[in-house]
Amino acid sequence: MIAILDATCPLRQKAEVVRFVEQRGLRVQVSELETRTLVGILGGGDEALAAELRALPGVREVRTVAPPYPLVSREHHPSATVVRVGDVEIGGDEVVVMAGPCAVEDEAQILRIARAVAASGARLLRGGAFKPRSSPYSFQGLGQEGLELLAAARAETGLAVVTEVVAPEDVELVARYADVLQVGARNMQNFRLLSAVGAQPRAVLLKRGLMATIEELLMAAEYVSSAGNPRVILCERGIRTFESATRNTLDVSAVPVLKEKTHLPVIVDPSHAAGRRELVPALARAAVAAGADGLIVEAHHAPETAASDGRQSLTLEAFDALMRDLARLAAALDRRMPRAAGITSGS
Amino acid sequence: MIAILDATCPLRQKAEVVRFVEQRGLRVQVSELETRTLVGILGGGDEALAAELRALPGVREVRTVAPPYPLVSREHHPSATVVRVGDVEIGGDEVVVMAGPCAVEDEAQILRIARAVAASGARLLRGGAFKPRSSPYSFQGLGQEGLELLAAARAETGLAVVTEVVAPEDVELVARYADVLQVGARNMQNFRLLSAVGAQPRAVLLKRGLMATIEELLMAAEYVSSAGNPRVILCERGIRTFESATRNTLDVSAVPVLKEKTHLPVIVDPSHAAGRRELVPALARAAVAAGADGLIVEAHHAPETAASDGRQSLTLEAFDALMRDLARLAAALDRRMPRAAGITSGS
Amino acid sequence: MIAILDATCPLRQKAEVVRFVEQRGLRVQVSELETRTLVGILGGGDEALAAELRALPGVREVRTVAPPYPLVSREHHPSATVVRVGDVEIGGDEVVVMAGPCAVEDEAQILRIARAVAASGARLLRGGAFKPRSSPYSFQGLGQEGLELLAAARAETGLAVVTEVVAPEDVELVARYADVLQVGARNMQNFRLLSAVGAQPRAVLLKRGLMATIEELLMAAEYVSSAGNPRVILCERGIRTFESATRNTLDVSAVPVLKEKTHLPVIVDPSHAAGRRELVPALARAAVAAGADGLIVEAHHAPETAASDGRQSLTLEAFDALMRDLARLAAALDRRMPRAAGITSGS
Amino acid sequence: MIAILDATCPLRQKAEVVRFVEQRGLRVQVSELETRTLVGILGGGDEALAAELRALPGVREVRTVAPPYPLVSREHHPSATVVRVGDVEIGGDEVVVMAGPCAVEDEAQILRIARAVAASGARLLRGGAFKPRSSPYSFQGLGQEGLELLAAARAETGLAVVTEVVAPEDVELVARYADVLQVGARNMQNFRLLSAVGAQPRAVLLKRGLMATIEELLMAAEYVSSAGNPRVILCERGIRTFESATRNTLDVSAVPVLKEKTHLPVIVDPSHAAGRRELVPALARAAVAAGADGLIVEAHHAPETAASDGRQSLTLEAFDALMRDLARLAAALDRRMPRAAGITSGS
């Protein structure tokens, strides 16, 4: 249930609404939006409570059912949200590219890749330390050691770090090292994890589940936001369909649809959608042309020996070439990409 | 990586293999099957280790890639596994029915429903205390209070209790009250949760994710099994397709396919597949005819006022009628169902 | 547009409505249902015409949009339609089984199979003479020669014949030999073909397209019915999903959903859904348990050398065993199956 | 079965191979490719024939199974095919846009739209005269009158005409008026229709079925090509998935996948994929960025009153704005678009 208050209503009235709900044993989430203040009543509330709330001063409206994602909806927040990570702005004019290996393997690997993608114009370094794997017998990541290596690569290159967190009990650890916490596709409806990343201050990269509708992605974002963290970046990464020529089917339409429905930034992962590096540049270009605010791309200096997902990782040379193509494309779309030094034969 | 040892190989040799692996800093999972002993090397192992292992006495074979789910596969375990819960055998001749409300609401509700479904022949009571909900503003279940009410219903009716656990940190609490721990469809690839329910002794009901392949379901079961708990019951509950006439599309073929591939029991949830109570009896009959070892069905004395999923809950009268039909069907398939007293007007 | 007249309205008034529409250059389809007479105005009609029609005597209602399939809907035709083919009733108490090879190959083959499936209790013989194949380089069927062989098999065994027609220009030829004209899944929305089979008197077996919703199947049936042929049998044969363990995903829920929405008989093709003969018996049982009025099953005396689809064809022995199982199942569901002589070693 | 001959093999030897096959009662399709001559043996041929063929002079290879689409595959035809329609080249440097209404409604409508889209830079005029409709009660198109109106619009604007043909018996009529014959998504596996458009000289626009794999689309193109017509343009128009926020899910990855597998031109229909005009520009841009050779777009001067699909038709102003955006995008991708006059208020 959501109570909607005028943004101009006096603080005393807002406090009274909160006190009123909490006295009834319910928790609230207060969100100050541009034109309204929303008081979300978490996990319940009946029609009788709604009627009482409607009678309080300052309460403009109480909704017991819709909208399902009031905080992330564009309805009360028409302007786009820009998520700032260091000096990078995600959701603004710049097309922000995050790049790196699927998994952190060792210090030499992550440093080499970080230097190269930075030189090509990437702004964040991706790399998995905790890997969710379909089989218990597969490589599960380096864990804390991987996080330390990512932090070392950040120290050297200046790239911010985005890495996945797979369980609520790891959130504090991962947040100590990472700038952006990624919630992976398989965990998009792990509601405890969503609440945990919502209760800490780092930005959150929320990937769409491969079986999730756009509505469900927005409701997952609402979990994060309603737990107190509005810094959510959405990521389309391909959905599961009958077509087997690609690993997943990139739902490029999700970009304009999300842009209509939410004020949050939207990026695309062309690597997991494609499943084969040959297709990644075309999908990356399509995503930017469709209006994506950024990309997250797998790149590796030796994809054929990568610990996981090598088949879909770009070589560093191919990544550099892609970045040059994207810069031209971005300009034709009135968006910016950073001027890159480019990689050289030594990198 | 999996090392396969002859079942008849001396214990000393088996211990040597385990010691050898652990000295290299890797964890193992030993499983004594009918014809073989499997030593799973968790989370890694390379070709060099495989070569060394192959040279050890008693080691018949080392597989670095396939099969992806050695413990739950029928390959080394041809006879069907029967999971015993109290005096109920799941995976044997009996078609076992689990029934109850979507969510535990209060004492009167759960007792009334438990008495009725027991009288109709159900053997386990289902009911959610922790509810994973797409929206943070929906009813999330009664939590521990719900577990206590389920235990009270068991004490009165003798029905064993199956209920969902949604996070690793809740496993101990839920296992204190429940006989079977359910992992829901949205958590089928929550690998930490799978490991957690694998590290405790209660039986596990593992639901197929609504966009998970049968292979992925089996690999999820392997997570539970490789963590030490072989008492896994698989559940088909409908997959997501383009068809919108039903909430999900019941993949009834999954029953014979799973029966080919694994020795674990397989049950079906017709309620979540159908999404409408009118369709539940036909799907329940189809599931039993396809060879399911049991069903998990939502039933409620007043579906129209249920806290969740009322649209797909059978009335207690409709559940009773279904059980009578299923008993006839089971007999025609040479399977058993318990003789039921039937519900009376007072129940 | 549909004009609905009282069934009791005088013939003169009905004729006047038809004349009125035809004078405006539009074609009509008159259908006498149990409680109403429907006058379908084909291919158009605007709001002005609707207003004029509503003013005519005997016209109870004019609908410009809904329902999309008035003739096949249960709304005005609550009792089930029984399609009679010779002495076989499809849609009545009997579970009717149609069986035979995917393609007619030669005289010895079709006769041998026909004799065997008849002895096992099949009531219709299936066999393709015109085969729609994905590749132009595959075997396309024997054409007219195949039809003649099917007729010869009917003469010897008494089985009625069902065979596919793939183009409007073949309808007359196929109808000369077959008792039931099959429209295949790939042609479910070949509207010219639907109109052509609707303009001749043979019963029509309409298979659901592998990408078609249940609503679209019903609208395809409406094409046949509105062209003048109410003798339509619907067939669920699996839909395309992400799951690749089966050739298609049998949507067993389509059986009860169709039974709710239409008065037409509904049968199931477990062979094309499964794609592997091992799964066919389980799917056949599931279909009958879900309420199907019949089955269409591929059977062959030497599946491994069949000209097409051998992988999913039952051996004649397996078909016989299935029929015995189905007879027990049918009895438990209060439906009939014919007493079969059974196949002997000589058949 | 396919026999592959050296392109340099003497004509006499080629004729001998053809004669040899035809004497055995089989039909052949001879295709002269860049590096090879392919002799396709239609509808059959066994291993014995293959052995005999392999012994003939000039025959380099005989394949009984793979590849399923030799004529349209890039394997023997590495350079891209350019389909010329008048002075327009589809599959070359230019991004070719086809635009117009869903259905031809009357002379004023089609002329007004044709003039406007021509002024904005479209090169072909689309418009349906024969409409395949899910319901028999919907508007089915103007038929021959619609074709005449399209021809009139061509005479005035110089735009080539692309329009749908829905049945083999209409091919001759439609080919008399149209420059490109469209085979719609529902007819992608109407093999008789594919053969019919393959047996006439007009270029063919082949749309992917909404549940067809990329492989199946290529085999459908092979039907057209093997019937004698190599001028095939492929069209991705969205596939059916679980996501309902768009009418279909545009499979933008199909563009680079098809470009790998075939030498044929590939265009995209963003209108049918989106289902809502608001999404069309983003999808159109994504398609061009992914490498599409062109687009087919619905545009209408008054979408809200269009006879069909108005919801997804761009206004003429929105189409003009899109064309300007696409021209900038094309330049950034080193492709061309024609300089457009632009529409003015009078158009």
Distance CA A128, CA B44 (A): 16
Residue A36: which H helix or E strand, with range?
strand A36-41
| B219 interfaces chain A, CB cutoff of 8 Å | yes
Nearest alpha carbon to residue C342 among C334, C331, C325: C325
pLDDT at D347 over 80: no
**E strands within A136-224?**
160-164, 180-183, 203-207
Position D138 scores a pLDDT of 73
What confidence tier does D344 reach under pLDDT thresholds 50, 70, 90?
A: low
Residue A266: partners with Cβ closer than 8 Å, 6 or more residues away: A233, A234, A235, A236, A254, A255, A258, A259, A291, A292, A293
The answer to whether D207 touches D180, Cβ cutoff 8 Å, is: no
Position D44 scores a pLDDT of 64
Contact residues on chain A for D289, CB-CB shorter than 8 A: 282, 285-286, 288-290, 329
Quote ipTM for the complex.
0.89
Give the 3-state secondary structure of residue D187: helix
Q: Which of C243, C289, C291 sits opposite B213 (nearest CB)?
A: C243
- How far does D18 lie from chain C, in Å, by closest CA? 16
Q: Which residue of C has its CA nearest to D69?
A: C135
| B190 interfaces chain A, CB cutoff of 8 Å | yes
Cβ burial of C99 (10 Å; 0-12, 13-18, 19+) is buried
Other residues' Cβ atoms within 10 Å of the Cβ of residue D327: 18
Written as one letter, the residue type at D298 is: E
Residue carrying the six token digits 């003009």: D320
| C68 interfaces chain B, CB cutoff of 8 Å | no
| D213 interfaces chain A, CB cutoff of 8 Å | yes
CA distances from A27 to A24, A45, B166 (A): 9, 10, 20
- How far does D196 lie from chain A, in Å, by closest CA? 28
Contact residues on chain B for C242, CB-CB shorter than 8 A: 211, 213, 239
pLDDT tens digits, one per residue of D280-290: 999 999 999 99
Q: What is the DSSP letter of B304?
A: G
pLDDT tens digits, one per residue of B194-215: 999 999 999 999 999 999 999 9
DSSP for D67-126 reads -S-TTTBSTT--SPP-EEETTEEETSSB-EEEEE-SB---HHHHHHHHHHHHHTT--EEE
Contact residues on chain A for D255, CB-CB shorter than 8 A: 282, 286
Contact residues on chain C for A242, CB-CB shorter than 8 A: 240-242
Distance CA D162, CA C300 (A): 46
Distance CA C160, CA C126 (A): 9
Q: What is the DSSP letter of B220?
A: H
Mean pLDDT of D132-148: 85
Q: Is the dihedral of CA D41, D44, D49, D50 positive or negative?
A: positive
- How far does A251 lie from chain D, in Å, by closest CA? 6
Q: Is the dihedral of CA D218, D134, B276, B166 positive or negative?
A: positive
Tally of CA atoms within 13 A in the half-sphere of B330 that contains its CB: 22
Q: Which of C214, C246, C328 sits opposite B253 (nearest CB)?
A: C246
Burial B31-56 (b: 16+ CB within 10 A, else e): bebeebbbbbbbbbbeeebbeebeee
- How far does C340 lie from chain D, in Å, by closest CA? 38
Contact residues on chain A for D213, CB-CB shorter than 8 A: 242-245
Q: Which residue of A has its CA nearest to B193?
A: A167
Locate B19 and state its tokens: 């010691």
Cis omega (within 30 of 0) for bond into C67: yes
Contact B289 C286 (CB under 8 A): yes
Distance CA B249, CA B266 (A): 17
Locate D174 and state its tokens: 């439609």
The answer to whether A99 touches A296, Cβ cutoff 8 Å, is: yes
Position A346 scores a pLDDT of 44
What confidence tier does B43 reach under pLDDT thresholds 50, 70, 90?
A: low
Check residues A25 and A261 and name the one with the higher pLDDT: A261
Locate A308 and state its tokens: 């996981």
The answer to whether D168 touches D146, Cβ cutoff 8 Å, is: no
The answer to whether C174 touches C147, Cβ cutoff 8 Å, is: yes
Residue D11: partners with Cβ closer than 8 Å, 6 or more residues away: none
Cα A171–A176–A177 angle (5° rounding)?
A: 105
Nearest alpha carbon to residue D224 among D235, D215, D233: D233
| Strand D203-207 to D180-183 pairing | parallel
Q: Which of A242, A246, A257 sits opposite D246 (nearest CB)?
A: A257
Check residues B19 and C97 and name the one with the higher pLDDT: C97
Cα D233–D235–D240 angle (5° rounding)?
A: 155
Percent of chain D with pLDDT over 70: 96
Position A9 scores a pLDDT of 84
pLDDT at A193 over 90: yes
Among A200-209, B298-307, C150-159, D43-52, whose mean pLDDT is lowest?
D43-52
Position D309 scores a pLDDT of 76
Chains that touch A (3 or more CB pairs under 8 A): B, C, D
- How far does D336 lie from chain C, in Å, by closest CA? 36
Q: Where do runs of H (alpha helix) occur along chain D?
A: 11-23, 47-54, 107-119, 144-157, 171-177, 191-198, 214-226, 254-261, 270-274, 280-289, 316-332
Mean pLDDT of D166-193: 96
Mean pLDDT of chain D: 91
| D287 interfaces chain A, CB cutoff of 8 Å | yes
Residue carrying the six token digits 């393997």: A105
pTM: 0.90
The answer to whether A3 touches A53, Cβ cutoff 8 Å, is: yes
| B227 interfaces chain A, CB cutoff of 8 Å | yes
Position C298 scores a pLDDT of 97
Distance CA C204, CA C165 (A): 10
Contact D136 C211 (CB under 8 A): no
Mean pLDDT of A151-178: 97
Position B9 scores a pLDDT of 84
pLDDT tens digits, one per residue of D60-102: 888 876 567 888 999 878 899 999 999 999 999 999 999 999 9
Distance CA B259, CA C230 (A): 41
| Strand D88-90 to D96-100 pairing | unpaired
Position C347 scores a pLDDT of 42
Mean pLDDT of B279-288: 98
Locate B147 and state its tokens: 């577990």
The answer to whether A258 touches A291, Cβ cutoff 8 Å, is: no
Locate A317 and state its tokens: 């040379």
Give the 3-state secondary structure of residue A333: coil
Distance CA D162, CA D203 (A): 9
Contact B253 C274 (CB under 8 A): yes
Nearest alpha carbon to residue C97 among C85, C81, C80: C85
Residue carrying the six token digits 């926020």: D245
Residue carrying the six token digits 């290996």: A101
Q: Is the dihedral of CA C23, C24, C27, C31 positive or negative?
A: negative
Other residues' Cβ atoms within 10 Å of the Cβ of residue C42: 18
The answer to whether C130 touches C141, Cβ cutoff 8 Å, is: yes
- Rounded CA Rg of chain B: 21
Contact residues on chain B for A186, CB-CB shorter than 8 A: 189-190
pLDDT tens digits, one per residue of A34-69: 667 888 887 566 788 888 899 998 898 888 765 678
Residue carrying the six token digits 């440093």: A111
Write a three-state SS string for C56-92.
Answer: CCCEEEEECCCCCCCCCECCCCCCCCCEEECCEEECC
Position D338 scores a pLDDT of 85
Written as one letter, the residue type at D214 is: I
Mean pLDDT of A3-28: 85
Q: Which of B41, B190, B223 sits opposite A187 (nearest CB)?
A: B190
Mean pLDDT of chain A: 91
pLDDT tens digits, one per residue of D255-264: 999 999 999 9
Distance CA B188, CA B205 (A): 11
Q: What is the DSSP letter of A162?
A: E
Q: What is the pLDDT along chain C (347 residues), one digit of tens a residue?
A: 788 888 788 888 888 898 888 888 787 777 776 667 888 887 566 788 888 999 998 898 888 765 678 889 998 788 999 999 999 999 999 999 999 999 999 999 999 999 999 999 999 999 999 988 877 777 778 999 999 999 999 999 999 999 999 999 999 999 999 999 999 999 999 999 999 999 999 999 999 999 999 999 999 999 999 888 999 999 999 999 999 999 999 999 999 999 999 999 999 999 999 999 999 999 999 999 999 999 999 999 999 888 777 899 999 999 999 999 999 999 999 999 987 777 664 44
The answer to whether B128 touches B164, Cβ cutoff 8 Å, is: yes
Percent of chain B with pLDDT over 70: 96
Terminal-to-terminal C-alpha distance of chain A: 55
Locate A75 and state its tokens: 């309805």
Give the 3-state secondary structure of residue B344: coil
Written as one letter, the residue type at A120 is: S
Cβ burial of C130 (10 Å; 0-12, 13-18, 19+) is buried
Distance CA A222, CA A206 (A): 11
Q: What is the DSSP letter of C209?
A: P
Locate B219 and state its tokens: 């690999």
Residue carrying the six token digits 């579970």: C95
Nearest alpha carbon to residue C31 among C163, C222, C170: C222
Contact residues on chain A for B191, CB-CB shorter than 8 A: 132-133, 136, 166
| A244 interfaces chain C, CB cutoff of 8 Å | yes
DSSP for A181-204 reads EEEPGGGTT-HHHHHHHHTSSSEE
pLDDT at A316 over 60: yes
Locate C10 and state its tokens: 């005088």
Q: For testing the chain A interface, which of B137, B169, B214 should be mutated: the one with the most A CBs within 10 Å? A: B137
